[in-house]
Amino acid sequence: MLYLLCDFQSTRLDYILNIVFDRILQTEYTLLSWEAYQQGIAIKDDTPHVVMYYGEKPGAGQFFIPDSGLLRENRIREEAPVLLEQAGRLPQLFFQEELQLKPTEGVTHDLLASCFFLITQYERYQHPTTGTHGRYDEVAYDSYTRKWHHHPLVQLLAEELWQQLLQLEPKLSRIHRRTSLHLTFDVDHPWKYWFRGFFVNAGGLLKHTFQLRFQVVGEMLKALFSGSDPYNTYPLIHRHFPPEHTAFFFLLDRTTPQDGWHTYKNRPYRKLVKGLKEKGYGIGLHPSYATYLNPERIKFERERLNRLVLEDSEHSRQHFLRYRLPETFRFLLEAGIRHDYTLAMYTDRGFPTGMALSYPWFDLGKNEATELMLHPTTVMDRSLKDYQGLGVDEAMTQCRELWKEVDTVNGCFRILLHNNTLSDEGEWEGWRMPILNLVEELTSSL
């Protein structure tokens, strides 16, 4: 049992204690006031325990965690946290240089505030810098420059704390989870040529003919008359992607040129969605390009998905990974979404909030925890090929390294693919078998 002494209570403190001790370490803890501690109530002396003190100065005999004040506040600070980085060590945010402590005496940085800063994407509230497609400009942030996203830092900080506490009391107990795998598909274009309508295909044929793009014309004609569409990879997915580990997110409406041609009005598309659901695959919404700042569009598209699958779907991932803090997540909650999968790096791979586990979103604007569960994605196909410029062998090596990183903290390895990634044609030529081999390797290791 862990006891944390603290002279204040706040929603931020309650939230991060839940993250560190309940969700990551899965161990029992109790938050105590100094008054209760001094009176000797609530502490069970007959069970193995450690008493920690979260305050401004070390106490008398307790394991010390310095309080930087961040968790007491309800505002967004402008200044960056004091930082100490040393080779071979985890970064120490909210570092206090004057502290001289042995590992069994405490830590020299506000570990709880560090975890809160990382998991809430605090720096994006401080400096909301956006780039292409209105997405947050990942490379503009200090955390990106320092490559913190390459590791699940929040979990690693929690695990490091646990090892220090075990030195004080080796009999402390916790529950250990197993590493899990989640394979996800964003269906932006269910088919490349099928079911787009006569006029769309006719216009495409004329356009490519005038442009002398005869290879594309041949591909279109083959798809339309031979019954073989390059993006129709669903039979392959059925054979290689277990339904219990796989989910699809469907783009159901078209309001901008960045959205797909197929919408909820398309009968074959509706049949595809229903068919995948009947096979046991997870089904979620892929809100269209303009929805991230449009709550009514999110509600409308979720309604259409609910009618289609005949159930109250609560899962979604934003198209183009577009979101704005705190607005988009608030809109999702208002629309009835309770599980969001948007958190993913698009220029790189890794852990944008330092987590390889699902966790509830904390609304910094309202200073409160919410019912929206965030499910971070570890790696995306487009990031590997387009943004990082990796060849297929390098990409698969990186995926295996990421799997090991997730496995060290018993997290969830979540990969974002698209149905056309498995087409083995065009830009994705040569990628199909390496991806299928990776999936088989990962699923067999569970």
Residues 269-297: tens digit of each pLDDT? 999 999 999 999 999 999 999 999 999 99
Return the minimum-mean-pLDDT range out of 32-41, 85-94, 120-129: 32-41
Assess contact for 130 and 384: CB atoms under 8 A.
no
Please write the tens of the pLDDT for every residue from 355-410: 999 999 999 999 999 999 999 999 999 999 999 999 999 999 999 999 999 999 99
d(CA 312, CA 309): 8
CA distances for 196 relative to 62, 222, 227, 308, angstroms: 68, 15, 14, 19
Q: Closest by alpha carbon to 411, among 160, 182, 229, 136?
A: 182
The pairing of beta strand 246-250 with beta strand 83-84: unpaired
Q: For residue 20, what pLDDT is reported?
A: 98
What is residue 199's predicted lDDT score, i.e. its pLDDT?
A: 47
- Residues in CB range of 172: below 8 A, 6 or more apart: 1, 2, 27, 48, 49, 50, 162, 165, 166
Picking from 76, 73, 93, the residue whose alpha carbon sits closest to that of residue 325 is: 76
State the pLDDT confidence band at 204, using cuts at 50, 70 and 90. low
pLDDT beyond 70 at 209:
no
Q: Largest Cα–Cα distance in the chain?
A: 87
* In contact, 71 and 116? CB cutoff 8 Å: yes
Give the Cα separation of 94 and 109 in Å (integer).
Answer: 5
**Cβ distance 409 to 180 under 8 Å?**
no
3-state secondary structure of 106: strand
pTM given for the model? 0.93
Q: How confident is the model at residue 321 (pLDDT cuts 50, 70, 90)?
A: very high
Query: Can you tell me the mean pLDDT for 77-84?
Result: 94
Q: What pLDDT does residue 213 have?
A: 61
